[in-house]
């Protein structure tokens, strides 16, 4: 287990091990990209679920389709393409082959993505957060587990995410139990 995931498990109560882990090969084929190692470890440890009553951590092929990364990513691809016909897309997406892959969403309609670029290293992708209006963006150059640990510990504060997130007492509800 990577050090950031160890730290995260100290902050966020772990569920019992997920009943089943995703087929990572099938997920990467469907998403047309390799997924970061720390994200795979995170999902293998927690599964998809609800963090602090606000953040929906997505899992590829989750039986609860609200938490299915494959479904949500496809929906976001379509929604963003429609949006960018009328709004400016982030400058990072102007390059050939640059795109976003969604790994989390929120109850308020914010989306958390990785910036995927041709030939990049999945383990060092930028995290991009989009507000519910689709206009404002934040960027974090860190892994998912480092980002979650930093947010839950209060080391970083997002201007986009809900101001009541995180909760003082962290909680995780498995998507399979919801």
Q: How confident is the model at residue 135 (pLDDT cuts 50, 70, 90)?
A: confident
Residues 22 and 60 sit within 8 Å (Cβ to Cβ): yes
- Residue 134 is predicted with a pLDDT of 74
The least confident of 14-18, 64-68, 173-177 is 14-18
Instruction: Supply the mean pLDDT for the chain.
Output: 92
- Pairwise CA distance, residues 72 & 111, whole Å: 10
Residue 115 φ/ψ, nearest 5 degrees: -85, 115
Element (H, E) at 177: none
Mean pLDDT of 72-93: 87
Mean pLDDT of 129-156: 93
- Residue 18 is predicted with a pLDDT of 63
Chain segment 137-150, per-residue pLDDT in tens: 999 999 999 999 99
- Pairwise CA distance, residues 136 & 122, whole Å: 24
Pairing of strands 99-106, 127-130: unpaired
- Residue 80 is predicted with a pLDDT of 86
Q: State what percent of residues in the chain have pLDDT above 90.
A: 78
- Residue 89 is predicted with a pLDDT of 84
Nearby residues of 57 by Cβ (< 8 Å), 6 or more positions away:
42, 43, 46, 48, 49, 50, 51, 67, 103, 104, 175
Chain segment 4-33, per-residue pLDDT in tens: 999 999 999 988 766 688 999 999 999 999
The strand pairing partners of 114, in sequence order, are: 101, 127
- Pairwise CA distance, residues 114 & 103, whole Å: 7
Walk me through the domains of the chain, giving residue ranges and CATH numbers. Answer: 3-177 (3.40.1580)
The tokens for 92 are: 């990072």
The strand pairing partners of 22, in sequence order, are: none
């Amino acid at each position: 287990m990577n050090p950031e995931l160890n730290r995260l498990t100290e902050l966020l109560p772990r569920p019992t091990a997920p009943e089943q882990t995703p087929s990572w090969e099938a997920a990467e084929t469907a998403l047309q990209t390799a997924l970061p190692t720390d994200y795979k470890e995170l999902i293998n440890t927690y599964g998809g679920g609800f963090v602090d009553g606000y953040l929906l951590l997505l899992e590829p092929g989750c039986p609860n389709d609200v938490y299915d990364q494959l479904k949500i990513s496809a929906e976001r691809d379509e929604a963003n393409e429609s949006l960018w016909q009328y709004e400016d897309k982030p400058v990072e997406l102007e390059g050939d082959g640059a795109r976003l892959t969604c790994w989390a969403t929120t109850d308020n309609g914010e989306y958390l993505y990785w910036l995927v670029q041709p030939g990049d290293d999945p383990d060092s992708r930028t995290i991009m957060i989009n507000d519910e209006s689709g206009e404002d963006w934040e960027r974090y150059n860190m892994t998912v587990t480092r980002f979650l640990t930093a947010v839950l510990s209060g080391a970083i504060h997002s201007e986009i995410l809900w101001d009541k997130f995180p909760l003082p007492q962290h909680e995780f509800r498995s998507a399979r139990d919801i």
